[in-house]
Amino acid sequence: MNSRFAYGAGTAICAVLFGAGLYLQHVVGLEPCPLCIFQRVAFIALGLVFLVAALHGPGKTGAIVYAIFGGVSAIAGAGIAARHVWLQSLPADQVPACGPGLAYMLEQFPLMRMLENVLSGSGECAESGWQFMGLSIAGWSLIWFVVLGAYIVWLAWHRAQRSANSGMRSEAGRY
């Protein structure tokens, strides 16, 4: 498998997922909560890692570096999505109160306090709204973060195996 194509496929999947979020926001009319916005940022970061890797066409070491950066992006996104799914599963009487909007928090709070407020979630994050096949947007995001994170790690492992096999063949040819 051509590594540029494989990384390009990851880029395309991230772009489609990001586009789906924009479609749901601007066409369907679903307003993203702060956790949704952070999940979008994680998809953008993961998509950028895939894009740079696709343009680079890395060898073994580069594939490992991209797997680390992509894995971190995927783990961060999965963590945010998992928190979001958990908030959506809470009974109504245990849902945290709605807090200020993300734009207000960005303007008024220091970065760390804003992140703390967003990641603690709020009432608006507990609404699941749109669902597909019984899963909320956050549930689908969690699945895609796990799949894409595993995929970028698999690409690095596959590249390392190819390098090891080609090294063994060239060593065998010398003797």
Global pTM reads: 0.75
Residue 103 CB contacts under 8 Å (≥ 6 apart), including other chains? none
Domains of the chain, residue spans: 3-166
Task: Report DSSP state, residue 95.
Answer: S
Cβ-proximal residues to 73 (8 Å cutoff; 6+ apart), any chain = 42, 45, 46, 49, 149
Please state which of the four CATH numbers 1.10.150.670, 1.20.58.1000, 2.30.30.110, 1.20.1550.10 is assigned to the domain occupying 3-166: 1.20.1550.10
Q: Which of 159, 134, 108 is nearest to 4 (CA)?
A: 159
Over its length of 175 residues, how does the chain's per-residue pLDDT go in tens digits?
688 899 999 999 999 999 988 888 889 888 777 788 889 999 999 999 999 999 998 888 888 999 999 999 999 999 989 988 888 777 767 665 555 566 666 676 677 776 666 555 554 565 667 666 878 888 999 999 999 999 999 999 888 777 666 654 544 443 3
The structure tokens 């096999």 sit at 165
